């Protein structure tokens, strides 16, 4: 059962419920106390230990019902059986046995047999005539399980076979047939098929009847295994597929994204921002042990007659950064600007001092617009007012010097996102040098590859020396790395 619990926790983690190794051990210890017999108590115990907030509890509820579907499968099979099946009877009783007593002919097909060994209705009426009232029994393990085993035994065997072939590693829906076959083989399909072939070759009525019964049971088992594999796909691969899609969208160039992908990318941006918030929101002060602070050590140890009893180490305060973000919203880089602004909008909780600006030529501040509007309205208005114009970086830098230079100090980080293509205008790189000298850091994020930074009207050869850091930034992965480093090292 511990293995089953570990598999269930993997499902929770795939569904983005954070479960630590310590919580896994706590769950195992708790289940040793409460046991597994009471489903409600079992579920409540796991819920209290493995889910910590309303969102996680909702996800836990869904995952639990999908993962522990043993009883539901049994009821579905019983309800969906052949007409006349009794749910309490064997899972794979053939139609001729239902409602008939030994020696009575089956309801349909009585007297209509073809005389061939595989004519099931004729052989059903002769079940006990040659065997003295005692039917033949299968010899293969799977055959015995199908004919004599309970539903519980069958489902347990199916689950064990699924674990053996690692059905939880299914990735795409087209693998359903492959894993169905693997599970059937692991349950003993080869021996069962050989037994059916041998029985059909012997030619006796009892053997033919048993062969027919085993064939029907095998076909029903295949349907049940296929349903089981489908459930495992939706439990494991559906979330895996979502994660793979998210990883792909993180790495693809933002300029190559289609409009239909914007909603998915927006969800990824919010998720990345939430991750950064959880990492950095509590990091306010760190102590760099290894460098002794002599002055503090002497002062604090005067009470001990100068004996170095209480050592003091030099420390640095890591606080929320003061950020000014300037985004080029011209047509060539509008997608990149859109997502950087979206990212910063999502990080308001951890970067409360961010000021956002947009430009094609004239620079305008959009900070208040983002504070007072929802994301979609703010993005639309920003792109309408400042986007798709003729790019003029020189004009942007003059506007920044006139309106914002007084607010730049040694705690300010200035981020510029743009391709530095200035339409052969005056670059005004001396203004960027002023910003460089006055600010803590100037970071330039260029969506083009470095090989294009000096081609045509690009001015990175002039702007680059006046920046503390220049980076290629054309995907969400690049953007996350830059913002994470900003939060990590800002002082």
Q: Measuring CA to CA, which residue among 353, 328, 349 is closest to residue 407?
A: 353
Q: Which residues contact 225 (CB under 8 A, 6 or more apart)?
A: 158, 180, 183, 184, 187
Q: Which of 14, 40, 68 corresponds to the end of one domain?
A: 68
Q: Identify whether residues 234 and 289 lie together within a single domain.
A: no
Q: Identify whether residues 483 and 337 lie together within a single domain.
A: yes
Q: Identify whether residues 218 and 80 lie together within a single domain.
A: yes
469-483: buried (b, 16+ CB within 10 Å) or exposed (e) per residue? ebbebbbbebbbebb
State both tokens at 207.
Answer: 């053997």
Q: Identify whether residues 54 and 143 lie together within a single domain.
A: no
Q: Measuring CA to CA, which residue among 281, 318, 288 is closest to residue 411?
A: 318
Q: Which residues contact 335 (CB under 8 A, 6 or more apart)?
A: 254, 255, 257
Q: Measuring CA to CA, which residue among 185, 187, 158, 174 is closest to residue 233?
A: 174
| Dist CA 309 CA 414 (whole Å) | 44
Q: Identify whether residues 84 and 179 lie together within a single domain.
A: yes
Q: Identify whether residues 289 and 331 lie together within a single domain.
A: no
Helical (H) or strand (E) element with 359? strand 355-359
> Within 13 Å and on the Cβ side, how many CA atoms surround 42?
12
- The one-digit pLDDT tens for each residue of the chain (491 residues) are 677 787 788 778 777 788 888 888 888 888 888 887 888 888 888 888 888 888 888 888 888 887 776 544 434 344 444 443 443 344 444 444 444 433 333 333 334 343 444 434 433 443 444 444 456 888 888 888 888 877 878 888 888 888 888 887 777 767 888 888 999 899 888 888 888 888 888 778 888 888 888 888 888 888 888 888 877 776 665 555 566 667 777 777 776 666 666 677 777 777 776 666 666 555 455 555 567 777 888 887 787 776 767 777 776 555 556 888 898 888 767 767 777 777 667 666 556 678 889 898 889 998 888 878 877 788 888 888 887 778 899 999 999 999 999 999 988 889 898 889 888 889 999 999 999 999 988 989 888 888 889 888 889 999 999 999 898 888 878 877 877 776 665 44
Per the domain annotation, does 265 fall within a domain? Answer: no
Phi, psi of 325, deg, nearest 5: -115, 125
Q: Identify whether residues 369 and 291 lie together within a single domain.
A: no
Q: Which domain holds residue 293?
A: 285-317
Per the domain annotation, does 45 fall within a domain? Answer: yes
State both tokens at 363.
Answer: 């620079």
* Region of residue 377 (phi > 0: left; psi between -120 and 50: alpha; otherwise: beta): alpha
Q: Which of 218, 247, 276 corresponds to the end of one domain?
A: 247
State both tokens at 1.
Answer: 């059962």
DSSP 77-89: HHHTSSTT--TTS
Report the pLDDT value the prediction gives residue 272, as an integer from 0 to 100: 72
Per the domain annotation, does 279 fall within a domain? Answer: no
**In this structure, are strands 313-317 and 285-292 parallel, antiparallel, or unpaired?**
antiparallel
Per the domain annotation, does 349 fall within a domain? Answer: yes
Q: Identify whether residues 217 and 82 lie together within a single domain.
A: yes
Helix (H, G, I), strand (E, B) or coil at 445: strand
Per the domain annotation, does 273 fall within a domain? Answer: no
Q: Are 9 and 56 in contact (CB under 8 A)?
A: no
Report the pLDDT value the prediction gives residue 316, as an integer from 0 to 100: 58
Report the pLDDT value the prediction gives residue 417, as an integer from 0 to 100: 86
Q: Are 167 and 178 in contact (CB under 8 A)?
A: no
CATH number, domain of 445, equals 3.40.50.410
Q: Which of 68, 87, 118 corresponds to the end of one domain?
A: 68
Q: Which residues contact 244 (CB under 8 A, 6 or more apart)?
A: 171
Q: Identify whether residues 151 and 173 lie together within a single domain.
A: yes
Per the domain annotation, does 260 fall within a domain? Answer: no
Per the domain annotation, does 163 fall within a domain? Answer: yes
Phi, psi of 412, deg, nearest 5: -95, 135
Per the domain annotation, does 280 fall within a domain? Answer: no
Report the pLDDT value the prediction gives residue 201, as an integer from 0 to 100: 84
Q: Which residues contact 480 (CB under 8 A, 6 or more apart)?
A: 250, 272, 276, 343
Rg of the chain, C-alpha, whole Å: 35
| Dist CA 164 CA 134 (whole Å) | 36
Residues paired with 446 in a beta bridge = 472
Q: Identify whether residues 351 and 469 lie together within a single domain.
A: yes
Q: Measuring CA to CA, which residue among 11, 1, 2, 20 is closest to residue 169?
A: 11
Helix (H, G, I), strand (E, B) or coil at 307: coil
- Chain CA centroid to CA 109, Å: 54
Q: Measuring CA to CA, which residue among 193, 458, 211, 437 is closest to residue 328?
A: 458
Helical (H) or strand (E) element with 59? helix 54-67
Q: How many domains does the chain have?
A: 4
Q: Identify whether residues 64 and 76 lie together within a single domain.
A: no
The sign of the dihedral angle between the CA atoms of 69, 71, 72, 74 is positive
State both tokens at 23.
Answer: 């919580």
CA distances from 314 to 241, 284, 299 (A): 48, 15, 14
Q: Identify whether residues 301 and 326 lie together within a single domain.
A: no
């Amino acid at each position: 059962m511990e293995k089953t619990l570990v598999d269930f926790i993997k499902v929770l983690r795939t569904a983005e419920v954070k479960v630590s190794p310590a919580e896994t051990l706590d769950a195992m210890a708790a289940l040793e106390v409460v046991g597994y017999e009471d489903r409600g108590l079992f579920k409540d115990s796991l819920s209290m230990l493995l889910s910590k907030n309303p969102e996680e509890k909702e996800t836990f509820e869904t995952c639990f019902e999908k993962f522990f579907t043993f009883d539901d499968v049994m009821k579905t099979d019983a309800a969906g059986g052949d007409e006349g099946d009794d749910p309490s009877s064997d899972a794979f009783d053939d139609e001729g046995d239902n409602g008939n007593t030994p020696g009575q002919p089956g309801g349909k097909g009585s007297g209509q047999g073809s005389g061939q060994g595989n004519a099931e209705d004729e052989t059903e009426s002769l079940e006990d005539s040659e065997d003295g009232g005692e039917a033949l029994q299968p010899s293969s393990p799977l055959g015995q399980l199908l004919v004599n085993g309970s539903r519980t035994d069958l489902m347990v065997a199916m689950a064990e076979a699924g674990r053996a072939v690692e059905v939880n590693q299914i990735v795409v829906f087209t693998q359903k047939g492959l894993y169905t076959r693997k599970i059937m083989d692991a349950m003993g399909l080869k021996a069962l098929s050989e037994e059916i072939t041998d029985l059909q070759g012997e030619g006796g009525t009892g053997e033919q009847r048993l062969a027919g019964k085993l064939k029907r049971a095998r076909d029903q088992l295949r349907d049940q295994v296929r349903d089981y594999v489908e459930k495992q796909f939706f439990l494991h691969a559906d979330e895996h597929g979502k994660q793979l899609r998210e990883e792909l969208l993180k790495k693809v160039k933002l300029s190559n994204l289609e409009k239909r992908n914007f909603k998915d990318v927006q969800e990824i941006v919010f998720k990345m921002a939430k991750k950064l918030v959880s990492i950095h929101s509590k990091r306010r002060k760190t102590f760099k042990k290894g460098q002794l602070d002599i002055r503090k050590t002497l002062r604090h140890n005067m009470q001990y007659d100068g004996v170095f009893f209480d050592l003091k180490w030099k420390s640095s305060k890591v606080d929320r950064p003061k950020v000014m973000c300037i985004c080029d919203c011209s047509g060539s880089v509008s997608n990149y600007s859109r997502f950087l602004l979206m990212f910063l909008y999502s990080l308001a909780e951890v970067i409360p001092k961010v000021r956002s600006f947009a430009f094609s030529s004239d620079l305008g501040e959009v900070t208040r617009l983002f504070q007072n509007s929802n994301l979609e309205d703010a993005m639309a208005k920003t792109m309408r007012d400042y986007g798709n114009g003729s790019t003029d970086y020189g004009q942007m830098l003059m506007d920044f010097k006139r309106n914002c230079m007084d607010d730049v100090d040694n705690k300010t980080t200035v981020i510029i996102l743009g391709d530095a293509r200035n339409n052969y205008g005056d670059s005004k790189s001396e203004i960027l040098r002023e910003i460089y000298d006055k600010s803590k850091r100037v970071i330039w994020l260029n969506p083009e590859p470095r090989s294009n930074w000096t081609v045509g009207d690009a001015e990175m050869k002039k702007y680059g020396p006046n920046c503390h850091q220049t980076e290629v930034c054309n995907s969400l992965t690049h953007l996350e790395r830059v913002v994470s480093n900003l939060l990590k090292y800002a002082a």
